Amino acid sequence: MTSSPDCQILFHWLRKLPGNLAGVAITKDTGLIEDGLLDSIALLELVSFLEETFALTLPLEEFVPENFRSPAAILSLIRRLREPAADG
């Protein structure tokens, strides 16, 4: 897997999640919500982390489970929010 700086920063944060007691190896396709790693608390912390680290603003319509389902989905969200002028 190609490991962009974004990817490394995100995975570093995800590995520290308290829900990951078993120390499961997180891949780009890990079901973060489904497996209980990103619960209601962690999800808000992630949004704060993304907004501060990547200087983004998460609009309301992007606060949907699909955007946080997996690391791949989050990386795609980061890319999209960085290019607001691209209009899709």
Partner 1 sequence: MVSVPVPERSDVLVVGGGPAGSFAATMLARRGYDVVLVDKARHPRETVGESVLPGAWKYFDLLGVGEEVMRRFVKKAGGVVAWGDEITQIAFRDFAYDRPGLHVERADLDDLLLRNAERAGVRACEGVRAEDFTSAGDSATAVTLVGEDGRQPHRTRYLVDATGQAAFVARRLGCRRLDPDFRFVALWGYFEGSHYVSAGGIVRPFAELHSHPPMTFVTRLGGWGWSWHIPMRRVTSIGIVVPVEDYRRAAAAHGCLDDYFLATCRATPHLGRLIADARLVNGGVRVLRDFSYLSGTVAGPGVLVIGDAAGFIDPIFSIGIVMALYSGHLAAWTIDRSLRRTAMAETSRKLFAHQMRGRYELARTMALPVIEGDEHAAAAAYFDFFSQSEKELMWSAASMTTRSGNLVRASGGESGPAVLKRRELAGLHFG
* 56 is a site residue for partner 1 (CB under 8 A): no
Q: Which pair of tokens denotes residue 50?
A: 């993304």
Neighbouring residues of 43: CB distance < 8 A, sequence distance ≥ 6 = 33, 68
Residue nearer to partner 1 on the CB measure, 63 or 79: 63
| 70 close to 30: Cβ distance less than 8 angstroms | yes
Binding track over 16-55 against partner 1, x by CB under 8 A: --x------------x-xxxx--xxx-xx---x-------
First to last CA, the chain: 25
Instruction: By CB under 8 A, name the binding residues for partner 1.
Output: 18, 31, 33-36, 39-41, 43-44, 48, 57, 59-60, 63-66
